[in-house]
């Protein structure tokens, strides 16, 4: 990153106040669901990462505190605290209380910030959406601090005490008025923080969980993670290939071009999967974009050219296709550019057309050079791609013959599948339900026309946990694959997908989290396309049913339960009594108004406790339910958890089992 010559308040250009952020939060952080909540952390961390990329800090610590707040600290230069000459306010206050276009100040290289979060907004947005924020700046031996409430300063910048530290620390408490849930997930944060650490070589990024009450998914994880990757994206590629057999070593190169900085690392493996991840200014471009297009064009061209020049492809043989050279390929592409344009549904697609040529040119040149210098590896790579080509041709031939009906496809639909009547896949939904009893309710309650139910026994978790490939032989999983209709391996054909929505519906407990992790890992490793194309979802069953007289309401989180109780006029004291023993079914009399109807709270320990109507109304009804669409990041997180649980590394596995000693029954160690 271009370093700035002179820093100071005068460089910051003020645009507008924060009212619009609270009015339309979705415009600034994408959504107010669990994703939007986590986005707050990323926005703050991005600032620290920028400071690291500028070469001024090497340590970033993110802490989830027990009071629901988050702190992010770096050891950088500290946000400037000097007075803005025109506005007569400290720079720190301006940074945190005013909205600035595109997350930039001034908008040119002399500006304050180079990259931004996905939506390019920044720390003031986080401030606006937090009931409380506290900023501490350690500079020149002093500690400066200021606090804010919903984006407004609670007091003027103060200086207090001495310090030998340098840096910035921000605490913030997300606002329950804005967010559907206030519960942070280590799993979600880890994926992003790990990515940032890979992309910013040499910086240590830590995540510390100090919460007493952790969500079920997080119970499986250690409380402290520390990421430091000297190898940068090459380490990332190695990580992605951990459980695969590699072909050659990671091939890494970088180049500063007039259009931006390009860094690429790639490695082939013996697997059939492609795993290419791309970033622009450290933002994961899950929808790809021109940098990715340039990369794909270049590897196809370069590998074909090499194969021809070295007679590895015969004259009569066709060129390798883009699909052939992608099979078994793992790559990370990272570009940094001055004015990134993010497009697409989730603003995660790089729209700068010049990056196609930039990446293509660099990859053509450097990959060709690498192959010339490493003829042994080059030959293995071409060999792997040719194998893919032969498999493709064979598969095409087989498609018209009986072989097309592979082992799985030849089988009839599993007996326990309650299929839907519609054959229009685009409207069909498959619910994968944990347990036979919940499966029974789901079958009874569903809309038969377009909702299919496949009950899976929780058992699969314990029986075949050792190896995922063994799992494919497991009957429960086989049923699932047959139900999907797409086949697996060489005869896989996504065009034959029988349901365009596949919904994982598990209990909101540790076992449920396990099964979900396992299914996500399965989809991640064998049916990536389903995730990429947005077909995979997670159902959101309620945690509580709150009844008062004839009326009942469902709560999907603890916060929502508290909110509903408040709405029903139950005093804070009473609600506390309930929440102290969340596991018990509680009955609370309204102390202040004894004549009123009784309020009862039922905690659902599993889906099986709901009757068919309840399950449909709360979780399956397209008119009322919320489904979480699974992203590649979610699946990658599950895969990492799965690897920890099943992997050969003894330490993390033992930790997992210890944390779970109480929660998990029958876990074979």
For residue 653, count CB atoms less than 10 angstroms from its CB and return exposed for 0-12, middle for 13-18, buried for 19 or more.
middle
Question: Considering only 70-78, 189-197, 371-379, 396-404, which stretch makes contact with ligand TTJ by CB under 6 A?
Answer: 70-78
> Would you list the DSSP string of 129-193?
TEEEEEEEEEETTEEEEEEEETTEESS--EEEEE-S--EEEEEEEE-TTT-S-----HHHHHHHH
Burial of 422 (0-12, 13-18, 19+ CB in 10 A): middle
Task: Choose which of 114, 170, 265, 325 interacts with ligand TTJ (CB under 6 A).
Answer: 170
* Residues 306, 313: Cα–Cα separation, whole Å: 9
**Whole-number minimum distance, CB 87 to ligand TTJ, in Å?**
17
Measured from the CB atom, the residue of 148 and 523 that comes closer to ligand TTJ is 148
| Closest CB to ligand TTJ among residues 62, 325 | 62
Considering 509, 532, 558, 577, which one is annotated as catalytic? 509
Contacts 24+ apart (CB under 8 A), 445-450: 445/611, 445/612, 445/613, 445/614, 445/615, 445/616, 445/620, 446/418, 446/420, 446/616, 446/620, 447/616, 447/620, 448/420, 448/421, 449/420, 449/421, 449/422, 450/420, 450/421, 450/422
3-class SS letters over 463-492: HCCCCHHHHCCCHHHHHHHHHHCCCCHHHC
Nearer to ligand TTJ, 148 or 524 (CB): 148
Q: Which of 117, 104, 279 is nearest to 200 (CA)?
A: 279
Q: How far is the CB of 47 from ligand TTJ (least distance, A)?
A: 3
Active-site choice (46, 73, 263, 434):
434
Question: Interacting stretch for ligand TTJ, rule CB under 6 A, among 27-35, 69-77, 198-206, 626-634?
Answer: 69-77
For ligand TTJ, the binding residue among 21, 41, 44, 189 (CB under 6 A) is 44
Judged by CB under 6 A, does residue 146 bind ligand TTJ?
no
Chain-centre distance for alpha carbon 74: 23
Cα-Cα-Cα-Cα dihedral sign, residues 347, 349, 355, 359: positive
- Among 79, 81, 452, 610, interactor with ligand TTJ by CB under 6 A: 79
Cβ 78 to ligand TTJ shortest distance, Å: 6
H or E stretch at 547: strand 544-548
Beta bridge partners of 90: 83
Distance in Å, CB of 586 to ligand TTJ, minimum: 40
> Residue 602 in 3-state DSSP?
strand
CB of 379 to ligand TTJ, least distance (A): 48
Given the rule CB under 6 A, which of 45-53, 186-194, 283-291, 648-656 is the region that contacts ligand TTJ? 45-53
DSSP bridge partners of 206: 61, 226
Distance CA 486, CA 211 (A): 42
Handedness of CA 572, 574, 578, 581 (dihedral sign): positive
Interface region with ligand TTJ, contact rule CB under 6 A, candidates 43-51, 336-344, 345-353, 401-409: 43-51
To ligand TTJ, the closest distance from the beta carbon of 110 in angstroms equals 11
And the tokens for 82? 């000097």
Query: Which residue of the set 180, 464, 476, 511 is catalytic?
Result: 511
Q: Is 345 left (phi over 0), alpha (psi -120 to 50) or beta?
A: alpha
Minimal distance, residue 122 CB to ligand TTJ, in Å:
7
Give me 190's structure tokens: 């880890």
| Closer of 138 and 370 to ligand TTJ (Cβ) | 138
Compute the Cα dihedral for 630, 631, 635, 641 and give only its sign. Answer: negative
* Residue 121 φ/ψ, nearest 5 degrees: -115, -65
Options 46-54, 102-110, 484-492, 510-518: segment touching ligand TTJ (CB under 6 A): 46-54
Cβ proximity of 270 and 384 under 8 Å: yes
Nearer to ligand TTJ, 139 or 275 (CB): 139
Q: State the nearest-atom distance from the C-beta of 542 to ligand TTJ, in Å.
A: 36
Q: Which of 12, 74, 218, 384 binds ligand TTJ (CB under 6 A)?
A: 74
Catalytic residue among 50, 218, 507, 633: 507
Smallest Cα–Cα separation from 100: which of 39, 15, 11?
Answer: 15
Out of 168, 286, 330, 506, the residue judged to bind ligand TTJ by CB under 6 A: 168
Residue 366 tokens read as: 């450097």
72 interacts with ligand TTJ by CB under 6 A: yes
Task: Identify the bridge partners of residue 4 per DSSP, sorted by sequence position.
Answer: none
Nearest distance from C-beta of residue 117 to ligand TTJ, angstroms = 11
User: What is the C-alpha separation between 566 and 609, in angstroms, rounded?
Assistant: 25
Give phi and psi for 161, each to the nearest 5: 70, 175
Please state the closest distance from residue 85 (CB atom) to ligand TTJ, in A.
16
Q: Mark 91-130 with x for binding to ligand TTJ (rule: CB under 6 A) and - for no binding.
A: ---------------------x----------x-------
Nearer to ligand TTJ, 148 or 616 (CB): 148
3-class DSSP state of 558: helix
7 belongs to the binding site for ligand TTJ (CB under 6 A): yes
Out of 76, 248, 250, 512, the residue judged to bind ligand TTJ by CB under 6 A:
76
- State which of residues 34, 41, 48, 477 lies at the interface with ligand TTJ (CB under 6 A): 48
Of 94 and 442, which has the nearer Cβ to ligand TTJ?
94
Listed ranges 41-49, 300-308, 412-420, 524-532: which one lies at the site for ligand TTJ (CB under 6 A): 41-49
Decide whether 145 or 291 has the Cβ nearer to ligand TTJ: 145
| 74 vs 574 by CB, closer to ligand TTJ | 74
Residue from 25, 36, 80, 248 touching ligand TTJ (CB under 6 A): that is: 80
434 is catalytic: yes
Residue 529 exposure: Cα atoms within 13 Å on the Cβ side: 14
Closest approach, Cβ 341 to ligand TTJ, in A, equals 24
Applying CB under 6 A, the span of 44-52, 176-184, 430-438, 594-602 interacting with ligand TTJ comes to 44-52
507 is catalytic: yes
Angle of the 186-199 helix axis to the 233-240 helix axis, nearest 10: 130
Give me the active site residues, please. Answer: 434, 507, 509, 511
Rule CB under 6 A: which residues touch ligand TTJ? 7, 44, 47-48, 51, 72, 74, 76-77, 79-80, 112, 123, 168, 170
């Amino acid at each position: 990153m271009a370093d700035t010559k002179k820093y100071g308040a005068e460089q910051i250009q003020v645009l507008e106040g924060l009212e619009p952020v609270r009015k339309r939060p979705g415009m600034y952080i994408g959504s107010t669901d669990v994703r939007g909540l986590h986005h707050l952390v990323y926005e703050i961390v991005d600032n620290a990462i920028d400071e690291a990329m500028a070469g001024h800090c090497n340590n970033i610590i993110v802490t989830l505190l027990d009071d629901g707040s988050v702190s992010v600290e770096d050891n950088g230069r500290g946000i400037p605290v000097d007075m803005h000459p025109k506005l007569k306010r400290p720079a720190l206050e301006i940074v945190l209380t005013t909205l600035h276009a595109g997350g930039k100040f001034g908008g040119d290289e002399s500006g304050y910030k180079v990259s931004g979060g996905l939506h390019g907004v920044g720390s003031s947005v986080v401030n606006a959406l937090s009931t409380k924020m506290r900023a501490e700046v350690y500079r020149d031996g002093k500690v400066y601090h200021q606090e804010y409430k919903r984006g407004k300063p609670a007091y003027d910048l103060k200086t207090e005490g001495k310090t030998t530290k340098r840096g910035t620390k921000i605490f913030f408490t997300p606002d329950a008025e804005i967010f559907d849930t206030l519960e942070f997930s280590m799993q979600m944060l880890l994926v992003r923080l790990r990515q940032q650490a890979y992309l910013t070589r040499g910086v240590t990024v830590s995540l510390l969980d100090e919460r007493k009450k952790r969500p079920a998914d997080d119970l499986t994880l250690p409380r402290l993670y520390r990421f430091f990757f000297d190898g940068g994206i090459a380490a990332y590629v190695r990580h992605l290939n951990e459980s695969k057999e590699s072909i050659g070593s990671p091939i890494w190169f970088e180049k500063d071009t007039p259009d931006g900085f390009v860094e690429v690392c790639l490695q082939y493996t013996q697997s059939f999967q492609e795993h290419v991840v791309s970033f622009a200014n450290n933002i994961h471009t899950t929808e790809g974009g021109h940098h990715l297009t340039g990369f794909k064009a270049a590897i196809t061209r370069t590998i074909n050219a090499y194969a021809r020049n070295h007679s590895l492809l015969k004259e009569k043989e066709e060129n390798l296709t883009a699909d052939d050279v992608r099979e078994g390929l793992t790559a990370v592409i990272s570009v940094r550019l001055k004015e990134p344009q993010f497009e697409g549904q989730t603003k995660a697609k790089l729209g700068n057309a010049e990056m196609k040529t930039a990446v293509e040119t660099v990859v053509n040149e450097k990959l060709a050079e690498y192959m010339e210098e490493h003829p042994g590896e080059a030959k293995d790579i071409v060999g792997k791609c040719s194998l893919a080509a032969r498999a493709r041709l064979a598969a095409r031939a087989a498609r018209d013959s009986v072989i097309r009906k592979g082992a799985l496809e030849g089988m009839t639909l599993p007996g326990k599948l309650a299929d839907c009547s519609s054959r229009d896949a685009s409207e069909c939904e498959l619910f994968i339900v944990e347990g036979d009893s919940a499966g029974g309710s789901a079958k009874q309650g569903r809309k038969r026309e377009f909702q299919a139910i496949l009950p899976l026994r929780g058992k699969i978790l314990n029986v075949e946990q050792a190896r995922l490939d063994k799992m494919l032989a497991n009957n429960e999983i086989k049923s699932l694959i047959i139900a999907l209709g797409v086949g697996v391996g060489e005869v896989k054909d996504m065009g034959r997908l029988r349901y365009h929505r596949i919904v994982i519906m598990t209990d909101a407990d540790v076992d449920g989290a396990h099964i979900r992790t396992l299914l996500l890992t399965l989809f991640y490793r064998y049916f990536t396309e389903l995730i990429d194309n947005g077909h995979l979802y997670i159902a959101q069953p309620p945690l509580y049913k709150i009844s008062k007289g004839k009326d009942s309401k469902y709560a999907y989180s603890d916060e929502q339960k508290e909110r509903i109780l408040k709405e029903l006029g139950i005093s804070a004291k009473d609600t506390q009594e309930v929440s102290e023993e969340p596991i018990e079914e509680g009955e609370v009399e309204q102390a202040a108004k004894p004549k009123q109807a009784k309020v009862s709270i039922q905690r659902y320990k599993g889906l099986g406790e709901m009757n068919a109507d309840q399950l449909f109304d709360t979780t399956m009804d397209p008119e009322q339910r919320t489904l979480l669409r699974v992203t590649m990041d979610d699946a990658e997180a599950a895969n990492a958890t799965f690897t920890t649980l099943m992997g050969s590394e003894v330490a993390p596995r033992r930790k997992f089992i210890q944390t779970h000693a109480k929660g998990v029954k029958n876990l074979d160690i």
